Amino acid sequence: MDFNEKHIKVLGIESSCDETSVAVVENGRIILSNVIDTQIPIHEKYGGVVPEIASRNHIEAISRVTKKALEDANITFQDIDVIAPTYGPGLVGALLVGVSYAKALSYTLNKPLIGTNHIQGHIAANYITYPELQPPFLCVMMSGGNTQIVHVKDYTQFEVLGKTRDDAIGEAFDKVARVVGLGYPGGPKVDKIASEGKADIVLPKAHFDGDTLDFSFSGIKTAVVNLHHKNPQINVANLCASFQSTVTQILMENVEKAIQKTNIKTIALAGGVSANSYIRKAFMGLEEKQIKVYMPDLKLCTDNAAMIASAGYYNYIAGNESELSLNAIPNLSL
Ligand SMILES: Nc1ncnc2c1ncn2[C@@H]1O[C@H](COP(=O)(O)OP(=O)(O)OP(=O)(O)O)[C@@H](O)[C@H]1O
Ligand SMILES: [Mg+2]
């Protein structure tokens, strides 16, 4: 069957953290709608996401966001071919809202249910931005909850080559921002203030023996926190610039090792931290070494349902249909 000729419309549903998002994507590549209802202003005053509050807000938003996604795509429920909710990883109560809603839709509309991995979704954001991109490639997945180098062997086949042994890179950005008083979410704020500073403070880079591609970000995070507490007068812009520059070096060192190890010369970025302007520039520098670099549109780097619908499409054509007993899996891996 030639799936491309079929114009398969996937309804993607994302509720793993603090964004309620519903999208309609055709054949995994073309966005017909992508509605993102963010709870950032609600969680901002707590300095981070409060799980119970996130779940309650997903419940309030999900029907309205779905209705808007159908309206924007100019279709009705009957025109949808596949329903693809994120079922992990993420906050269990938040995930359950999207999963339960998707199961109800799948049952009443009699359409296939395709439970989709959130990390696979972040990777798939690249297929939307670059319609010509096909596996295999290496993907540097960096977000609020994950940091890993993935060998994307095929649309639904992955091998994790290295991952963080402690904090995710986005978590480190958020913690640094909170401690130096920039607020939540910290990544974009560190990005902005770092552009006004000088990276002149030496910070530690964790080193593992052997040829591992694993990361560690807790040491540098703690070093920044301690420096700020011991020297509150330290220039925040310089501290953020130094932090950002050092975590980028940590990333790039392992990425170059992964390229050497696999001899794969195509790299895609994924996850919220891939919106960072300094990191994007560093990766663009790899093009001088004949490495082809892909990075999702800024709006597709952070959580959204279009990326879930894209990954859901590839799971669907691979025949990975879910049962109605599908459950949320908070610690789901690739
Ligand atoms: N410009 C930026 N620079 C650095 N970090 C950024 C930037 N923009 C967003 N981030 C970070 O990206 C993270 C959010 O990304 P994302 O939505 O992919 O993560 P998540 O969904 O919380 O985690 P996961 O996808 O692992 O479940 C936050 O940690 C945020 O600070
Ligand atoms: Mg995410």
Closest CA to 11 of 135, 118, 112, 155: 112
Both tokens assigned to 12: 């993607």
Q: Which atom of ligand 1 is nearest to the CA of 174?
A: 31
Residue 181 in contact with residue 235, Cβ under 8 Å? no
User: Atom 4 (ligand 1): residue with closest C-alpha?
Assistant: 187
| Start-to-end Cα distance in the chain | 27
pLDDT for residue 3 is more than 90: no
201: Cβ contacts below 8 Å, ≥ 6 apart:
227, 234, 238, 239, 242
Both tokens assigned to 282: 């560093």
Over the stretch 246-260, which tens digit does the pLDDT of each residue have?
999 999 999 999 999
Over the stretch 63-109, which tens digit does the pLDDT of each residue have?
999 999 999 999 999 999 999 999 999 999 999 999 999 999 999 99
| CB under 8 A, 24+ apart: contacts of 110-113 | 111/80, 111/81, 111/82, 111/83, 112/81, 112/82, 112/83, 112/316, 112/321, 113/83, 113/84, 113/85, 113/321, 113/322, 113/323, 113/324, 113/326
Residue 147 in contact with residue 164, Cβ under 8 Å? yes
**Strand pairing report for 82-88 and 9-14:** parallel
CA dist 42 and 10 (Å) reads: 29
User: Atom 25 (ligand 1): residue with closest C-alpha?
Assistant: 143
**For the chain, domain boundaries:** 3-122+302-317, 135-296
Compute the distance from residue 303 Cα to the ligand 1 centre, in Å.
Answer: 8
pLDDT for residue 1 is more than 60: no
Residue 30: enclosing H or E segment and its boundaries? strand 30-38
Q: Which of 148, 273, 332, 333 is the best mutation target for the ligand 1 pocket, counting ligand atoms within 8 Å of the beta carbon and taking the most?
A: 273
Q: Which atom of ligand 1 is nearest to the CA of 303?
A: 17
pLDDT computed for residue 263 by the predictor? 97
Q: How many CB atoms lie within 10 A of CB 330?
A: 15
User: Atom 30 (ligand 1): residue with closest C-alpha?
Assistant: 187
* DSSP notation for 216-275: --HHHHHHHHHHHHH-TTS-HHHHHHHHHHHHHHHHHHHHHHHHHHH---EEEEESGGGG
Compute the distance from residue 116 Cα to the ligand 1 centre, in Å.
Answer: 19
Over the stretch 267-295, which tens digit does the pLDDT of each residue have?
999 999 999 999 999 999 999 999 999 99
Both tokens assigned to 167: 């904090």
CATH topology for 135-296 is Nucleotidyltransferase; domain 5 (3.30.420)
The secondary structure of residue 211, as a DSSP letter, is S
CA dist 263 and 124 (Å) reads: 22
Residue 185 in contact with residue 40, Cβ under 8 Å? yes
Ligand nearest to the CA of residue 141, numbered in listed order: 1
Under DSSP, is residue 326 helix (H, G, I), strand (E, B) or coil?
A: coil
Both tokens assigned to 11: 């309804």
Residues in the chain: 334
Residue 116: enclosing H or E segment and its boundaries? strand 116-117
The answer to whether the 3-122+302-317 and 135-296 domains have the same CATH topology is yes
Residue with tokens 């209705």: 67
Q: Which residues line ligand 1 (CB under 6 A)?
A: 16-17, 89-90, 118, 122, 143-146, 170, 173-174, 185-188, 191, 271-273, 275-276, 302-303
Q: Which of 19, 173, 175, 221 is the best mutation target for the ligand 1 pocket, counting ligand atoms within 8 Å of the beta carbon and taking the most?
A: 173
163: Cβ contacts below 8 Å, ≥ 6 apart:
146, 147, 148, 149, 214, 215
- pLDDT tier at 43 (50, 70, 90 boundaries)? confident
pLDDT for residue 50 is more than 90: no
- What's the mean pLDDT when you consider all of the chain? 95
Compute the distance from residue 241 Cα to the ligand 1 centre, in Å.
Answer: 18
Cis peptide before 330 (omega within 30 of 0): no
Residue 99 in contact with residue 326, Cβ under 8 Å? yes
Compute the distance from residue 110 Cα to the ligand 1 centre, in Å.
Answer: 35
Q: What is the pTM of this model?
A: 0.96
Domain 3-122+302-317 listed as CATH 3.30.930.10: no
CA dist 274 and 281 (Å) reads: 10
Over the stretch 168-201, which tens digit does the pLDDT of each residue have?
999 999 999 999 999 888 999 999 999 999 999 9
Ligand nearest to the CA of residue 330, numbered in listed order: 1
CA dist 133 and 154 (Å) reads: 11
- pLDDT tier at 4 (50, 70, 90 boundaries)? low
